[in-house]
Amino acid sequence: MRLLYLLALFSVFIVLINAKKGEISKKLPLTKQQQHWISSSSRSDVNGWIWVKVSGDPYPRGFSYGYMVAQEFAAAWRVYEAMTLQSYGMSLDFFNSLGVKIHKNKIPQEYMQELQGITDGLAKGGVQNITVDDLIGFNDNMEITGYYWPTIQSQYGVPKPPGKFAKSHCSGFVATGNATSDGKIVIGHESFTEFWNGQYFNIILDITPSSGYRMVMQTSPGWIASMTDFWVNSAGIVVVETTIAGYFGYDVNGLPEWIRVRNATQYGNSIDNWVAIINNGNNGGYANSWLLGDTKTNEIAEYEQGLTYQSLEKKTSGYFFGDNVANDPRIRNLECVDTGYSDVRQQTGARRTRWPQLLNGYYGKINATIGQTMLGDTYDPYLKKINPSSRCICSHYDVDPFYYASDPNAVWNVPFYPAGSVDGKVTTAAAAANMSMWGIFGRVDGVAFDVDSFLESNP
């Protein structure tokens, strides 16, 4: 009997060690305490979104989150493993190890506990062999591949142009005062990305922490910061950003952006306070033009954050917009390459032309509905007609032949590239007071991406 018992244990051990990292299997039994944590949390699947609500101390809220998105995390991990190697020539584990090496000892204890909770929740949810180091690396992925890797890539292969990996990822606006229909803040945002990872940007994570402010963010399974960067907190702060295209510069001694923005939004209660927190330990990672609003004061701001240069502009009437290129000439010229700032053939220059046309055209009328309309705009400022393409507010890279811009080192200039708008989110001061938003998961103009027909046309 003892021999049979030992053999059974051994066979279980063999199965466990042979399981592929990130592979999904049956859920494991929960303890009574873990059951209580899960029962105090919730998950709702709504129109393509997965709304996860957690609360409390770092470990329990992390455990609940991990457990409830285990299936989605396993799917995302599988795709990230495949596409990281295809995109960079190095494995996901390699990039994860880089993130752990330079950032693990800088992560605040609160977030380490939350990450450990997520790791253990994923395990109980059936995800095999994921460690807290894997999860740190996964949260670090966009910053390490896009900002740290370019500074060391030449050690492993042929040097790439500076800024090659720092793509433009978003489009957004914020308006207030006499620009909006009620004089209050309206803010909107959409994510641009490859469809392979954008399909996982459908988590709405609602955290009520035991310390700090309640936060609602858009994110991917397992991330503790948004990274797509649409945030609302219970102190009345609303936040979006657009990445700064072609950015190059990184300080390994600083704090990663995903820690700084999470910290700023969890503990920031004013625009100045939020900016001070995110700038503390600035490492140049995931450099952004941040669009902010404080619904308590009706003030909005644009904060452009490079590693060497930063700029902050605020107003209580008017608008700001983001098009993935810095307005600050110091950041744009001294910290970036190939921005497309003045080239209307490029998606950055085109949207810098189109956003003022829309915002001025709707000036004084901007509300949630108008915000949704603007984010779904497919007017091409270069060809001066409706033409879904890379040059639209609602980007369609997958149908753009790129007849007019072919510099491979510039922003996203690959014909028929399966990427572009993958979502749209809008909130108002009134909605933010209830921690709510409007959102579409999928291209903002509602046009579906059909994989089969795309591959038939682009074999």
Exposed, middle or buried, 363 (CB in 10 Å: 0-12/13-18/19+)? middle
What pLDDT is stored for residue 353 in this prediction? 98
Q: Confirm or reject CATH 3.60.60.20 for domain 170-457, answering yes or no.
A: yes
CA distances for 119 relative to 104, 114, 239, angstroms: 15, 9, 27
Helix (H, G, I), strand (E, B) or coil at 3: helix
Torsion of CA 281, 243, 202, 224, to 10 degrees: 0
How far apart CA 174 and CA 168 sit, in angstroms, is 18
Q: Which residues contact 92 (CB under 8 A, 6 or more apart)?
A: 77, 80, 81, 84, 85, 137, 141
What pLDDT is stored for residue 14 in this prediction? 42
Q: Which residues contact 334 (CB under 8 A, 6 or more apart)?
A: 308, 309
Tell me the domain boundaries of the chain: 170-457
Torsion of CA 31, 32, 33, 35, to 10 degrees: 90
- Kindly report the average pLDDT of the chain as a whole number: 93
Under 8 Å between Cβ of 267 and 212: yes
How far apart CA 312 and CA 22 sit, in angstroms, is 42
Give the tens place of pLDDT for each residue, 245-303.
989 999 999 999 999 999 999 999 999 999 999 999 999 999 999 999 999 999 999 99
**What is this structure's pTM?**
0.94
Q: What percent of the chain has pLDDT over 90?
A: 89
Under 8 Å between Cβ of 173 and 188: yes
Residue recorded with tokens 């992925």: 141
Average pLDDT over every residue of 121-146: 97
Give the tens place of pLDDT for each residue, 359-412.
999 999 999 999 999 999 999 999 999 999 999 999 999 999 999 876 666 667
Q: Name which of 43, 47, 94, 90 is nearest 69 in CA terms.
A: 43
Task: Evaluate the CA torsion angle 38, 40, 41, 42 in order and state its sign.
Answer: positive
Q: Name which of 67, 65, 60, 62 is nearest 37 in CA terms.
A: 60
Cα 404 off chain centre by? 29
In 128-170, alpha helices (H): 132-143, 149-152
Got the DSSP string for 195-227? HHHHTT--EEEEEEESSS--EEEEE-TT-SS-S
- 81-85, 204-208, 242-246, 309-313: which range is least confident on average? 242-246
Q: Name which of 369, 377, 373 is nearest 428 in CA terms.
A: 369
Query: C-alpha angle 85/82/287, rounded to 5°?
Result: 60
Give the length of the chain. 459
How far apart CA 321 and CA 251 sit, in angstroms, is 28
Under 8 Å between Cβ of 48 and 423: no
Give the tens place of pLDDT for each residue, 330-345.
999 999 987 889 999 9
